[in-house]
């Protein structure tokens, strides 16, 4: 590790005389660390998007950051620096006590937006109070860039689990995970199941930036292996968040396996998953796809929901979603590698069949 920071003026030289070890974002992603990751950006920046597992130790409040930034642009860097010292000087004890609370063992890695003055300032202080302090080179911006590069250069194969609405793909993914497969659940991270009904029962969605960070961290946490990574076939958007371009590109060219599920099983799955939600929320979801489903069908679905006939409502929803799913495959140029017809509607059995089919296909390909 090396220190790459260079003071810009005499005042900074007085503060940054301690050499702080640094770590590259690539090494952080590859190695992980037992150290606590401290994000010293403002609470507003942290809330908009942060690295999963990071703790916020803000050098400036939202208001302080705005004032310092204005001085930097409109007056001078030195004026901004001096004003920043005024803010920081009042809170130096709090920084140390809060860092000790967040990292009882005293081992921390810091970052700000670009690995500049904020992280270096905090590192200088904490290095006097904690046994191990390291700064990530390039900060949060470099971490996100490294996450994108990691996915773009992924060597492990992706296998995409596809199938029409109601096929129970998410439950099969969970069963795959239980049987030892590597699974990344994008809908779990998005807090959305990917349809007009997808927000029912879910927590509020993260920001797009946070969603991307969660994905980057999930891939960074995987071990090196030749075994495939399983994901559910998704649209580019999941609710109001979007897949990173690098991942979307890989997914549209990855091996796609189609679950061929009879419609009565699909309706059964949808009733099991959605019938317990409030009637008003189900009707609102039908109204959101009203233009594409058609007023007559929306009316029929609404009446079915109000009557407690959820199977009929589910069958009406499939009129739209089946066309939409086939259209998305054609639009994205995705051709299923093969289709799997399960022997029953049991996700555990389906996962076993999938793994056997995938291994047989991979074995046959390696022999040819």
Residues involved in catalysis: 112
C-alpha distances in angstroms, 269 versus 93, 168, 233, 288? 56, 6, 18, 21
CA 318 to CA 279: how far, in whole Å?
Answer: 18
Q: How many helices (H) and strands (E) does the chain have?
A: 18, 12
CA distances, 276 to each of 28, 78, 190, 205, 308 (Å): 44, 61, 22, 21, 10
Q: Could you give the count of Cα atoms lying within 13 Å of 185 in the half-sphere of its Cβ?
A: 16
Tokens standing for residue 41: 């950006």
DSSP secondary structure letter of residue 129: T
Please state, in angstroms and rounded to a whole number, the distance separating the CA atoms of residues 210 and 46: 10
Whole-number Å distance between alpha carbons of 167 and 179: 19
């Amino acid at each position: 590790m090396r220190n790459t920071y260079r003071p810009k003026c005499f005042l900074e030289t007085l503060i940054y005389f301690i050499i702080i070890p640094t770590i590259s974002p690539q090494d952080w992603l590859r190695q992980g660390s037992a150290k606590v990751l401290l994000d010293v950006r403002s609470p507003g920046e942290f809330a908009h998007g942060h690295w999963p597992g990071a703790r916020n130790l803000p050098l400036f409040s939202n208001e302080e950051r705005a004032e310092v930034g204005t001085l930097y642009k409109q007056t001078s860097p030195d004026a901004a620096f001096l004003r920043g010292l005024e803010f920081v000087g009042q809170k130096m004890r709090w920084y140390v006590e809060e860092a000790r609370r967040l990292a009882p063992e005293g081992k921390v890695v810091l970052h700000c937006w670009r690995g500049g003055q904020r992280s270096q300032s905090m590192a200088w202080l904490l290095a006097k109070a904690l046994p191990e302090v390291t700064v990530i080179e390039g900060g949060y911006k470099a971490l996100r860039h490294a996450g994108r590069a990691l996915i773009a250069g992924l060597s492990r194969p992706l296998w995409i689990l596809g199938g029409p609405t109601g096929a129970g793909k998410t439950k099969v993914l969970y069963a795959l995970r239980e049987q030892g497969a590597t699974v990344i659940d994008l809908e779990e991270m998005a807090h959305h199941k990917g349809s007009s009904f997808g927000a029912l029962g879910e927590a509020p969605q993260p920001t797009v930036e946070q969603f991307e960070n969660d994905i980057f961290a999930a891939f960074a946490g995987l071990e090196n292996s030749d075994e495939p990574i399983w994901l559910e076939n998704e649209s580019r958007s999941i609710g109001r968040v979007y897949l990173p371009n690098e991942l979307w590109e890989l997914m549209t060219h990855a091996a796609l396996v189609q679950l061929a599920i009879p419609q009565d099983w699909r309706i059964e799955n949808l009733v099991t998953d959605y019938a317990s939600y409030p009637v008003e929320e189900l009707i609102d979801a039908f109204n959101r796809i009203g233009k594409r489903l058609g007023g007559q069908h929306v009316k029929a679905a609404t009446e079915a929901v109000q009557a407690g006939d959820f199977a009929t409502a589910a069958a009406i929803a499939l009129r739209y979603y089946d066309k939409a799913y086939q259209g998305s495959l054609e639009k994205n140029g995705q051709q299923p590698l093969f289709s799997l017809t399960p022997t029953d509607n049991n996700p555990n059995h389906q996962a076993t069949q999938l793994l056997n089919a995938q291994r047989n296909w991979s074995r046959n390909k390696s022999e040819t």
